Structure 1
Amino acid sequence: MLIWIIFAAMTGAAVFALLWPLGRRSPDAFADTADAKSLYRAQLGEIDRDLGRGLLGAVEADAARAEAARRLLRTAEGEPELAGESEPALRRRRAASALALSCVPLLALLLYGALGSPSHPDQPLSARLQSVPSQQDFELALARIETHLAANPSDGRGWAVIAPVYLRQGRFDDAARAFAAAIRHDGTSADRLAGLGEARTFAAGGVVTGEALQAFSEAVALDAKNPRARFFLAVAKEQDGDNDAAVAALRALLADAPPDAGWTGMVQQRLESLAPGSTAGSTIASLPAADQQAAIRGMVDGLAERLKQGGGTLPEWTRLIRSQLVLGNRPAAIEAIATARQRLGQDAEAVAQLDALAGELNLREPQP
């Protein structure tokens, strides 16, 4: 209702602006009576001068004097001189007023009906942000949550709500930060840790990094049956080149799956890609030689990327070093030994085994 009152006031102001100059009468040419008398007297003197110069005849001069005298008498007696208005001018002014009164509001209504939405109630953004989330469109709901979190960054539950949304949108870095904030401000849970690991994995291009592996391991420690964490742990084994362990983990995950689980199809496809015909590791063996080399290199690169991110056990580093040497990448194998020594420096036994491995494979760094 308020919007209609505002529209009516605006229309009235527009009409008033049009009618104001039409309704005003022309001001008197001379408001000062004394000035008018002086003018008329000067006019009589001018008539006499024109008569003396022969510019006026006697008859015209008498008529001009009479008219000037009549005006002088009216002014002297205080009678106002009416400006008078011709009938055509008065009709034009009335027609313009009627046109303004009728056409301006009509034109405004026609434009609003064509360009506006008269059947929809007003929906300002502030009111929509206060409405029930289930009645909002997706973008508005997301904006509402983001606005709330910007003002309340310690709201762990808000971060827990928005983190899966970021993950579905492909905003993996934002999803990882949101899951981490939810854990930090509202406590740890297996689902949040699994979501954090998944976001970190996709942010790294599908590689289960050391940080992601840690999150999945912590999730399984809290809930040994968490399907998402178990799946990505199996993917990590696959990327490490341990296909047998990956196949065993995926089969165990399918065995524990509820009958109505929607993710079993994806796990089955992954398992079939690793072990068609229930033969572990036969996928790579069935490929052409060139494709086998590319597949092996992809798994080794995935393991190297994950260990580069941090962490890693001695068996993982040993597998990476041997794999790099098998692929003929001796500099990468030497670099892996050096990095492993740094990461496992607190474990004297592990360092000793790395030194023994370097001697076995002739990968000792040259002395300066």
Structure 2
Amino acid sequence: MFWIICTALVAIVAMAILTPILRARDDAQAQPVAAYDLQVYRDQLREVDRDLERGVIEAEDAQRLKAEIGRKVLDADRRLNDSSDKNGGAAVALPVIVMALVLVGAAALYWQEGAPGAPDMPMTARIVAAERAYDNRPTQAEAEANAPAAAPVELSEDDRRLIQQLRETVAQRPDDPQGLTFLVTYETRSGNIAAAREAQQRLIDLRGHEATADDHMRLGALMIEAAAGIVTPEAERVLGQALQIDPDQPQARYLIGLMYLQNGRADRTFAIWRRLLEQGPESAPWIAPIRAAMPDLAWLAGQPDYVAPAPVLTGPSAEDIASAEGMTDDERQDFIRGMVAQLEGRLAEQGGSPEEWARLISSLVVIGDTDHAKDIWTEAQSIFAASPQALATVHEAAQKAGLVE
């Protein structure tokens, strides 16, 4: 059926291109310029005969005019024969040859870049292929072994010293949850994702049943980052544990949707991401990548008419702006700190867009809280690990603030 449809489409397009060309050729053949000239010269000969009969011209002049017109008649007749020979061959052959070359080139390109031997894949076959891909995913160890080497992260001497001290402290006190939490943060900052994953796993083991959904989600995100973005079976199980504790944990749901997308089940991804998008908030870090992918995702899921909800953007209220006017420097500084604390609290509870995390980092550096800004940058790296574009936005702010080189 596929090839029948393709052949029919090619024939229709070829006819649409060749028809006006052939029609123009036929019009040119029906009344070429030489034929028009020949008709005019013949009319002139008849006019000379009529003038001779009426005595308007002498016989000698009539003979001279007929000889001159006769030469023109012979020339026009020769040009008419030449144009007939050319139009009958080249004018027809040229567009046909060009069209044939285009079709042959298209077929060769498809043979080289396409999949001419690929069988039809009805929905049931696609689901079977997706399940096969899902079952044959690499393990965490295999994915990490095959992952490309991460770009080295430039650290200051103070950061390197602090990370080494944390490693030694955790080695001496392996049951200290606070030390493990800091170690995860700084190992992530240093780009040592495998070590951060191991520390987060030890932290969850230490907390046992008290481990939160966010703890499991963070471990799953680190596993995915260590596996070069692949949601392995082990990472899926960890994310499943997060959702058992909190079925509405948004980042775990986002990553589960990513897993389905990687394995050919765009329909399931669409159902998960659609609900996340409609629940919001718009400032959540997972909203931007979902909104960007939703048009193609809806089409793949068989929902081409889906219209995503319009984004609802928020900013400082008129009261906030007005209250900052007329303050002393100290009052304005306190006001700024309050706004920064309010932004940080909302990001901690509800999440936020990459731009908001970047603004928080910049604001903390401005008010002199650089150490806390570094902690926020480390946390943002974990949150946006699955979205390189979003992470790049936060990284740029951290770089401008002097937190990274």
TM over 0.5: no
Q: TM-score, normalised by structure 2?
A: 0.33
Structure of higher RCO (CA pairs closer than 8 Å, 6+ residues apart): 2
- Higher gyration radius (CA): 1
